Amino acid sequence: MSGVFRWPTRASLFALQPLAAGVLLATSGGSFAEEVAPATPAASQEAKLGTVTVNARRREETAQSVPTPISVLDSETLETQRIYRVQDLQQLVPSTNVAYVHARQSSISIRGLGNNPASDGLEGSVGIYLDNVYLGRPGMAVFDLLDVEQLEVLRGPQGTLFGKNTTAGVLNITTRKPTFHQEGSVQSSLGEDGYWQTQGSFSGPLTDTLAGRISAYHTEDDGYVKNIYNGHDLNGGQRQGFRTQLLFKPDDNFNLRWIGEYNEEDSDNGILSLYSTGPTINGVNRYESLAAQAGATLVSGKDRKVNFDADQRVTVFQGGTSVEANWTLPNDFTLTSISAYRWWDFTPRNDDGLNVPVFSSAGVSVRDKQYSQEIRLASPTGGFFDYVLGAYYFKQDLDNKSFTYYGAQADIWNITPAGALANVNTLGNGHIDTDSYALFGQATWHLTERLDFTAGVRGTYEEKNAWVTRDAPVGGAAVTGAAAAARQGRVGAYDSGDLSQYSFSPSGLLSLSYRFTDQLLGYASLTHGEKSGGVNLTVGAAPRLGTDSLLVGTERANNAELGLKSTWFDDRLQFNTNLFWTEVHGYQANVYDQVNRVQYLANAGSVRSRGLEFEATALPVRGLTLDFNGSWNDVRYTEYDDAPCPPEVSLANAAATCDLSGHQVVGASKYIANLNGQYKWQLAEHIEPYVTASYAFRSKAVGTIDDSEYGQIPSYAIVNLSTGVRLDQGDGVLDLSLWVKNAGDKTYFTSLWNSANGGYAGVLGTPRTVGATARYDF
């Protein structure tokens, strides 16, 4: 695939001298390819931007010719910037935020839309695809980015061509295919806090028509949050996995790619550190007062410390297989079939955040299986009219189990009568079956040599059948009166009965693009996207608010886009920019019930997201590549009357509701800026040193949906640095580097969560980490 960096071979890299026969065209930054140009006079000695190929419209096209905002990160960019996890992508692209606690509590938002994690009965607003397969749970993408070819981040509704309707955008992950020539790579990194990562891959022919590829990784670290209760480090653990592939290509008219993969995690991720104890009302801070009554000692998470008396653990086992077949039919039509199966098992063990036994463990374990089948027909290109047609089927079978094992101090912390919750255990179960069917089509009319009109439509019908139950509580002392009533209200038996949702969700696209010159493309588009509703698969507030609180309605988005894509100065500068305006109705967001102290998803009224995005890549001098991107995003609730109140209000009246119309949406920084640079030069015939630097800034953001002044995420900036050298070893290239992440050792929070009694806990970003990497490509 053109436009994707390949690690240099001896012939291409180490033969490059200022007066050599060729030059290295393009370097890092996610937008360049490496090519060697034939020798010509001085003009040819200048590096130029390469071509990046994407699959944003379900056919291979150059990124600069696709009239939609899209960021592309190739394998070299991910390696250069030490990006090995999906949750770090926000340091490289505009308008993107990844909220991550652990594999279940994770979500991706684009343009402020999509901060809705941890609802097992609902898909995310941002669709995630791995090798053309939709991932039904965001946590399915929370593993090391192994042997990745490139990542594409598409912004705005993308439901017309992608397998599930999405209202905010798409993350499209493409891994390297098997090759009919031998190639391989091994890499090992060591760093502070016990960090150790090893990756390897090998590809080559098995026969004249069959090629294979195998990739594997192992990562471990000790963690960077100190538990002063026992001296242990938390927020670390082990991850490992592998991917095997076969590519069958008997001729130019047919190819079949089989992928099988497995990933697992055993960690103590999921640490929520104390961010704020909330408001002081009438001289009393409830969080601090009740903690003292329970005998707890509080520590500030801003010191990267916690005080937990119970275990914190997360285990994840997941895998999948897919088969993609492509036929070239008569008259150059292309028929594609993608069949896939995936499974995901998640089991947590969470502490209560205190060093006294409020509860010894709580969480939700999940067992998920999904099946999908997609068929597409793409017409040939080059004429007046071309199109893509298809059909899609998705089935999900998910079960979860919620559990809380209360301790002796539960009643003090929960302000319940003595004996109501102390030493009580509660278990619940949820189940959902999803069947989704879709027909879609998108066509482009080339009205003139420079003017294109594109229209697309998708119709999706979904059936969701679910139930939620909770067993009668066990354990604890026999109670009567107020204590018995409190126990029944908080953890009493519950059965939702059968819950069903049937929905038809249309998506549409209208777009005009005009190529003013060969280097300047302008476009305008209108899109409509819908994401079906779902079911909260834990009891939550249902006993108090009724069964309807378990149901989440459809989310609908209308988006207008105006943009330019351009290349300047003899292909040495690329500059893309766009304006957008999105109106979302029935926005699905996380809310917190102060009475039952539970979080659940609901339709949070209407939202408006508007802003400006830009991406620039420049080659100012030979060997130097600069990438600069950023966004201004104003995303607010335009109508949210019945919203949860901040603790400044709710602690005085737990049943109160507030009007959050006009407030910023949770997790959406108004300003984002990312600057990345790399400089490399030829020291000798076989030696290429390099230095890289990156700066990622995010302005302040609302931490939780109630928009409390005690739950605001401050602005922060992260600086990453590295230096290294690439050496020709005759039969391969050796890359040795030293790096530091978060060079300023900035303490920052990436997301916040409501805690009991008006407090807030959050997820800490990684501290300064120094390390070294050795990589050998052959």
Q: What is the DSSP string of 583-640?
A: EEES-EEEEEETTTTEEEEEE--EEEEEEEEEEEEE--STTEEEEEEEEEEEEEEEE-
What's the pLDDT at 594?
Answer: 67
What's the pLDDT at 28?
Answer: 34
Q: Cα separation of 486 and 691, whole Å?
A: 62
Contact status, residue 605 vs residue 583, Cβ threshold 8 Å: no
Tokens encoding 154: 């598409």
Return the exposure string of 735-765: e unless at least 16 CB atoms fall within 10 Å of the residue's CB, then b: bebebbbbbeeeebbbbbbbbbbbbbbbbbb
Q: What is the largest CA-CA distance in the chain?
A: 94
What's the pLDDT at 270?
Answer: 86
Task: For the chain, list residues with pLDDT below 70.
Answer: 1-46, 116-118, 163, 594
pTM: 0.90
What's the pLDDT at 118?
Answer: 65
State whether the Cα torsion 361-237-746-720 is positive or negative: negative
- In one-letter notation, the amino acid at residue 665 is V
Contact status, residue 576 vs residue 615, Cβ threshold 8 Å: yes
Enumerate helices (H) and strands (E) in the chain, giving the number of each: 7, 51
CA neighbor of 58 nearest in space, from 427, 324, 403: 324
Q: Can you say how many angstroms the Cα of residue 697 is from the centroid of all Cα atoms in its chain? A: 18
What's the pLDDT at 649?
Answer: 92
- Give the three-state DSSP class for 311: coil
CA neighbor of 368 nearest in space, from 122, 85, 99, 587: 122
Contact status, residue 355 vs residue 296, Cβ threshold 8 Å: yes
Q: Cα separation of 668 and 609, whole Å?
A: 10
CA neighbor of 687 nearest in space, from 734, 655, 719: 734
Q: Cα separation of 110 and 87, whole Å?
A: 13
CA neighbor of 712 nearest in space, from 740, 682, 680, 670: 670
CA neighbor of 346 nearest in space, from 317, 313, 370, 311: 317
